Amino acid sequence: MEGPGWRLAWRDENYPFAVLIGGQGWAVELSAAEATALAAAVADLVCEHQALFDQLLSEEAITLELERGPWWLALEGDRLQWCLKGVLTPEVGQRALEVSWSVEASSALCQALQRLGGQP
């Protein structure tokens, strides 16, 4: 799946890094566990934003942060538009990375993560 400023693909044959995720001008492969943890954390962050929707004024900016497992995530924006960024800090001896998506890409990427169902 892909759209302007984001990409997401699950490829079991690429074990141990079965999930390709990308943004504007970058892409990285994640393990299934990393991708599953990302999808769950993103879903919770988006739900938290939706729960605050009626409490936010149209011009009011908000930043929500969530740290879970190897992921730190931030949702920044207002009640209608927001961008997503994250940092993966895995176990010692493994790679770390920082990711981000634009306002235009963030919502679509989050929806794609959830559409994968049993996968991230």
- Render pLDDT for 10-51 as a digit per residue (tens, 0 to 9): 988 888 999 999 999 999 999 999 999 999 999 999 999 999
Q: Specify the pTM.
A: 0.90
Structural domains present in the chain:
2-115 (2.30.31.10)
- Report the pLDDT value the prediction gives residue 93, as an integer from 0 to 100: 82
- Report the pLDDT value the prediction gives residue 58, as an integer from 0 to 100: 84
The answer to whether the CB of 106 falls within 8 A of the CB of 21 is: no
DSSP string, 1-32: -EETTEEEEE-GGGTT--EEEEETTEEEEE-H
The answer to whether the CB of 120 falls within 8 A of the CB of 19 is: yes
**In this predicted model, what pLDDT tens digit does every residue of 110-120 receive, in sequence order?**
999 998 755 44
- Report the pLDDT value the prediction gives residue 119, as an integer from 0 to 100: 47
- Report the pLDDT value the prediction gives residue 12, as an integer from 0 to 100: 84
**In this predicted model, what pLDDT tens digit does every residue of 56-109 receive, in sequence order?**
988 899 999 999 999 999 999 999 999 999 999 988 888 899 999 999 999 999
